[in-house]
């Protein structure tokens, strides 16, 4: 297994004696190796071969990155906003030019299929070109004061300013897109950004950082640091960091929240997306959308459908449609265009998913399809009549599993759905607007999709979780809120008016003397 990198990226790595690329870290506008000379193997989930090595930064390296990021704050803040936006558009163009290298890095490093990798790149390109839309959220407000008696003669401007240094800790499942849906709005708002890529698949983020620099983002304003998870924790608690933005597991998110101190925190954490299929739904459409929502990217998505509740009257028919449709979801080498599902990220992910499948079957679920693993590949698996005490109905799956349970009434479905500790995404399938509205209003989640599977996409619609699924919102125009501080500037015109009257009085006195 080999990474195919163009000469465009030659500055960010060096090959060792075996031809394996060893990647540097970026800080202070330069790519360099930490002094310790230590590296971490980067393994392809396709065949577990070593495809690269990343620098294993230590705390002293993190201190330098933090110091450089803080010193760079004025550079990006003073850069006119239009120049920041132009740099983003150039970055989109450069990313398109480096499409092949980026696609290869995602497929080989993450295990995504060719189609899914292409989709991630395209979404990132679109995200970069939508910054002109996002910039509208930084315009601010004018507030007249004469709506309250004590504020007569006053007015205020409410503006948004960059927070300072943003630490972005990214997950493995979308190593390019999610990383830069954090970095793009943070840089657009005028912040200095430090990226801690996922250790499992850091290569796409490192490549994209070089694209951003060559597109015109002031080099010292964007940093990358690679290493163990402890490096992220060390930096999260540091006072230099003004904003911590993290996407990942709820457990790690809680730990980061506890240690980060008084700073702005944005967390997108675990999800247990439910699809509620009502008896009046278009069952063919619902089955197709449920399978896509559960199996795309091998189910390794925070917005994946990872449990399905179907009304008893249509449960049998719906189960047959799922059994028929899941045959089209072939698992195999992601470099093969026929494959729709690639491997999971590593062996521990496979063990977790297989444990959930085995637990469900042991407790009475019917294994209708799949249920086996090979290496890091898990067959697309359909479980019918899953009892509610099965772990797969409550734990985040992050694998290609479709667990289906039956309910009687709409109220039953809502009650089951809301018992989850998670609250990120859900879906409801029905032809009734009344029922769609009722279910959507009562589900305790951040986003509900009607008659389709949840998909955050480029982020045009805002998304984020409640309960154990996180804090804050992401999306075009909404992410800006996480990376800016609101400042109110109050102008009192009463003093100016008094001065003006005094001057008028003096002028009148001079005129009288002149006469």
CB 469 within 8 A of CB 422: yes
Give the contacts of 67 (CB within 8 A, at least 6 positions apart). 240
User: Three-state SS for 86?
Assistant: helix
Provide DSSP, 60-76: HHHHHHHHHHHHTHHHH
Residues marked as catalytic: 268, 302
Supply 497's token pair: 């008016």
Architecture (CATH level 2) of domain 273-458: 3-Layer(aba) Sandwich (3.40)
Per DSSP bridges, beta strands 154-162 and 141-144 are: antiparallel
pLDDT band at 514 (very low <50, low <70, confident <90, very high): low
Check whether 500 has a pLDDT greater than 70. no
Q: Classify 337 as helix, strand or coil.
A: coil
| Amino acid 493: pLDDT | 86
> What pTM was estimated for this model as a whole?
0.93
**Average pLDDT over all residues of the chain:** 95
Looking at per-residue pLDDT, the higher value among 427 and 478 belongs to 427
How far apart are alpha carbons 358 and 365 in whole angstroms? Answer: 9
**For residue 188, pLDDT beyond 90:** yes
CA distance 399 to 347: 12
Higher pLDDT, 51 or 496: 51
Domain with CATH 3.40.605.10 in the chain: 7-268
Start-end of CATH 3.40.309.10 domains in the chain: 273-458
**Mean pLDDT of the 358-385 span:** 98
Tell me the average pLDDT across 260-279: 96
Average pLDDT over residues 340-366: 98
Q: How does DSSP assign 396-423, residue by residue?
A: ---SSEEEEEEESSHHHHHHHHHTSS--
Neighbours of 40 (CB within 10 A): 17
Q: What is the pLDDT of residue 133?
A: 85
Structure tokens belonging to residue 347? 């062996």
In the predicted structure, residue 232 carries a pLDDT above the cut 90: yes
Residue that has been written with the tokens 């796409």 in this structure: 204
Residue 495 pLDDT > 90, yes or no? no
Which residue in this structure is represented by tokens 């449709």? 325
The mean pLDDT value for 316-337 works out to: 97
Round to whole Å and give the CA distance between 123 and 177: 7
pLDDT recorded at residue 190: 96
Domain boundaries 7-268, corresponding CATH code: 3.40.605.10
Task: Please list, residue by residue across 269-296, b when 16 or more beta carbons sit within 10 angstroms of its beta carbon and e when fewer do.
Answer: bbbbbbbbbbeebebeebbbbbbbbbbb
């Amino acid at each position: 297994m080999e990474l195919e990198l163009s000469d465009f990226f030659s500055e960010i790595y060096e090959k060792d004696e075996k031809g394996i690329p060893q990647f540097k870290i970026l800080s202070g506008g330069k790519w360099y190796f930490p002094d310790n000379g230590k590296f971490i193997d980067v393994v392809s989930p396709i065949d577990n071969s070593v495809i690269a090595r990343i620098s294993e930064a230590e705390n002293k390296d993190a201190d330098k990155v933090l110091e450089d990021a803080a010193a760079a704050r004025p550079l990006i803040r003073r850069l006119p906003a239009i120049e920041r936006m132009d740099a983003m558009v150039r970055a989109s163009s450069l990313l398109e030019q480096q499409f092949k290298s980026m696609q290869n890095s995602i497929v080989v490093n993450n295990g995504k299929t060719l189609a899914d990798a292409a989709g991630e790149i395209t979404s990132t390109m679109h995200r970069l070109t939508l910054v002109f839309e996002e910039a509208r959220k930084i315009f601010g407000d004018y507030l007249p004061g004469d709506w309250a008696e004590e504020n007569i003669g006053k007015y205020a401007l409410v503006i948004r300013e960059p927070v300072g240094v943003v630490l972005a800790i990214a997950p493995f499942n979308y190593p390019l897109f999610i990383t830069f849906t954090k970095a793009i709005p943070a840089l657009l708002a005028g912040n200095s950004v430090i990226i801690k890529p996922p250790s499992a698949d850091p290569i796409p983020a490192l490549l994209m950082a070089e694209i951003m620099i060559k597109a015109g983002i002031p080099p010292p304003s964007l940093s990358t640091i690679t290493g163990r998870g402890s490096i992220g924790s060390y930096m999260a608690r540091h006072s230099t960091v003004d904003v911590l933005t993290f996407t990942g597991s709820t457990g790690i998110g809680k730990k980061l929240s506890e240690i980060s101190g008084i700073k702005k925190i944005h967390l997108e954490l675990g999800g247990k997306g439910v699809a509620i299929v009502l008896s009046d739904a278009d069952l063919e459409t619902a089955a197709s959308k449920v399978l896509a929502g559960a199996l795309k990217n091998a189910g390794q998505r925070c917005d994946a459908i990872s449990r399905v509740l179907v009304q008893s009257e249509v449960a049998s028919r719906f189960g047959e449609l799922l059994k028929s449709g899941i045959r089209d979801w072939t698992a195999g080498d992601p470099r093969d265009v026929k494959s729709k599902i690639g491997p999971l990220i590593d062996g521990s992910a496979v063990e977790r998913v297989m444990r959930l499948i085995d637990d469900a079957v042991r407790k009475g679920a019917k294994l209708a399809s799949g249920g086996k693993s090979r290496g890091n590949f898990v067959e697309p698996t359909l479980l019918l009549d899953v009892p509610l005490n099965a772990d797969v109905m409550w734990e985040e799956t992050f694998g290609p599993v479709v667990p289906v349970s039956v309910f009687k009434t709409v109220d039953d479905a809502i009650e089951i759905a809301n018992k989850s500790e998670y609250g990120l995404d859900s879906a409801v399938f029905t032809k009734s607007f009344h029922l769609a509205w009722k279910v959507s209003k009562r589900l305790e989640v951040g986003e509900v999709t009607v008659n389709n599977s949840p998909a955050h996409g480029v982020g045009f619609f805002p998304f984020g979780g409640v309960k154990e699924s996180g804090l804050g919102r992401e999306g075009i125009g909404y992410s800006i809120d996480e990376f800016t501080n609101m400042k109110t500037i109050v102008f009192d015109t009463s003093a100016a008016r008094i001065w003006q009257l005094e001057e008028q009085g003096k002028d009148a006195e001079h005129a009288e003397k002149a006469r």
